[in-house]
Each structure stands twice: as C-alpha cells, then as structure tokens.
Amino acid sequence: SSELTQDPAVSVALGQTVRITCQGDSLRSFSAAWYQQRPGQAPILVIYDKIIRPSGIPDRFSGSTSGNTASLTITAAQAEDEADYYCNSRDSSGDHIIFGGGTKLTVL
Amino acid sequence: EVQLLESGGGLVQPGGSLRLSCAASGFTFRSHCLSWVRQVPGRGLEWVAVVYYDPTSTYYADSVKGRFTISRDNSKNILYLQMNSLSADDTAVYYCAKGLRPMDAREAYYFDSWGPGTLVSVSS
C-alpha cells in the first residue's frame, strides 16, 4: 500500500488526552514521523523514530506504533495544540515519501 | 540556527516553467537529504521530490515525475526545483525541507526544518 490514513478531524476537551492515529501497511517496515501545522505556518516535526521528541517539543506529546498503526498522543491538551497534524513515512516500496491526509485537532 | 528560504514562486501560465530555489544556512548542507513538499491552500501536505546527500540520487512523486527536476548546488548551499509543463494541479505552496540526520537516506523523511514556503500559481 502507498497510503497513510488519518481521521480528518478529532476534538479534545482542554486538559484531556487525545490520540491521533495513522494507518498504513508501510508502517510495518518504516517508522512514522509526526508534524504539527498551525494555520499560515510551516509544519513542525514533533515526533520521529516512532517515539522521539525533538528538542523543544513539550513532553505532553508522545508517539507509539503497533503493527500498521502509528499514534500521536497529546496528554493534557492545551489550547495552543489546536492545529493540523500529519504523519509521514515511506511507501511500501521504500522509494517514495508519503504523508497522511492530516487530522484537524480542535481543543474545546 | 538552521534557515531555509524558498524563492522563485509566482504566477505562470499552464504549460509554462518555473524554477524554485531554496537557500540554506546553519548546517552542513552537503551532508543532508533535502526535499520539496507542496500544499494546496486548505489541503494536506504532498511530498514532491527528494535529493539525497549523494546528489545523483533523486526520487519523485508520480504526480511530477518526468516534469520536475530536483537538484542541489553544494558549493552554494542551494536546493532547486525545476518545474516544467505546469498545470493548475501544480498550484500550491512549495516548501523545502531538510532531513534530520546527516548521511541518512533511509529516514530522509524526518523533516526537522522547513522554509516558510513560496506560492506557485498556475493560471491563464
């Protein structure tokens, strides 16, 4: 498969925990990365190597993978976490880089 | 501090050509894989092309293969995207993005730095 599938939209109450998922057969072979994109801004890498947070990313962001599904979990979501979130990886052939369709997170 | 700055976007007619540039600084340019990623306003991210630290290794999305050419000038620290036979479907903001680790082609998709983007509009 050459696709990564994400739910188009997810909502979370302020201070609660939310999980955003990304499904794709290629995730059995290649690690997922996650990006946060706020309106009008370039994306920011928030998770790579399935579970690693780059410097400066709050520790309320965490990643995990099980089988063909990668997950981004935000614990105690804050208002500033409202954004679009994208996963990426390689396709099953390994030749191409692919992105999930993105998940719009609303913090209520 | 890593900086990436795209230029060269603008309005072009269908069938036309455009060359984007991405000036880079703050890291060892020749050691990192670099990609172009585009985004139609209001839509999702689409990877376009990658050039590995070995400048002869390039890969393209099927949607642009044969029309776009990615290249790098390691002496000037500039990434390029030559775009030919443009159509309305190519209208998007184009970002250049840097691979996280030096000399790492496998995880070239870990984009730890992005430019602000340059808008390409294809219209008559």
| Among candidates B47, B115, B116 on the partner chain, residue whose Cβ is nearest the Cβ of A97 | B47
Q: Where are the beta strands (DSSP E) in B1-124?
A: 3-7, 10-12, 18-25, 34-39, 45-51, 58-60, 68-73, 78-83, 92-99, 111-114, 118-122
- B75 burial level (CB within 10 Å; 0-12, 13-18, 19+): exposed
Q: Of B51, B37, B46, whose CA–CA distance to B94 is shortest?
A: B37
pLDDT of residue A17 exceeding 70, the answer is yes
Task: Name residues 63-82 of chain B within 8 A of A (Cβ).
Answer: none
Give residue A12's pLDDT.
97
The CB density around residue B89, as the number of other CB atoms within 10 Å, is 11
Set of chain A residues whose Cβ sits within 8 Å of the Cβ of B2: none
| Among candidates A84, A90, A101 on the partner chain, residue whose Cβ is nearest the Cβ of B109 | A90
A52 to each of A72, B99, B120, how far by Cα in Å? 11, 15, 34
Residue B46 at interface with chain A, using a CB cutoff of 8 Å: yes
Ramachandran region of residue A67, left (φ > 0), alpha (ψ -120 to 50) or beta? left
Q: Distance, in angstroms, between B27 CA and closest chain A CA?
A: 16
Contacts of A32 (CB under 8 A, 6+ apart): A4, A22, A47, A50, A63, A65, A70, A87, A88, A89
Contacts of B65 (CB under 8 A, 6+ apart): none
CA distance A44 to B114: 8
Set of chain B residues whose Cβ sits within 8 Å of the Cβ of A100: 44
| A96·B47 Cβ contact <8 A | yes
Residue B116 at interface with chain A, using a CB cutoff of 8 Å: yes
pLDDT digits (tens, 9 = 90+) for A82-97: 999 999 999 999 989 9
| Among candidates B37, B61, B100 on the partner chain, residue whose Cβ is nearest the Cβ of A48 | B100
DSSP single-letter state for residue A54:
P
pLDDT of residue A1 exceeding 60, the answer is no
CA distance A100 to B43: 11
Set of chain A residues whose Cβ sits within 8 Å of the Cβ of B112: 45, 48, 54
Give residue A50's pLDDT.
87
pLDDT digits (tens, 9 = 90+) for B59-111: 999 999 999 999 999 999 999 999 999 999 999 999 999 999 998 889 999 99
Pairing relation of β-strands A9-12 and A103-107?
A: parallel
Report, as an integer, the average pLDDT of A45-64: 96
| A99·B46 Cβ contact <8 A | yes
pLDDT of residue B124 exceeding 70, the answer is yes
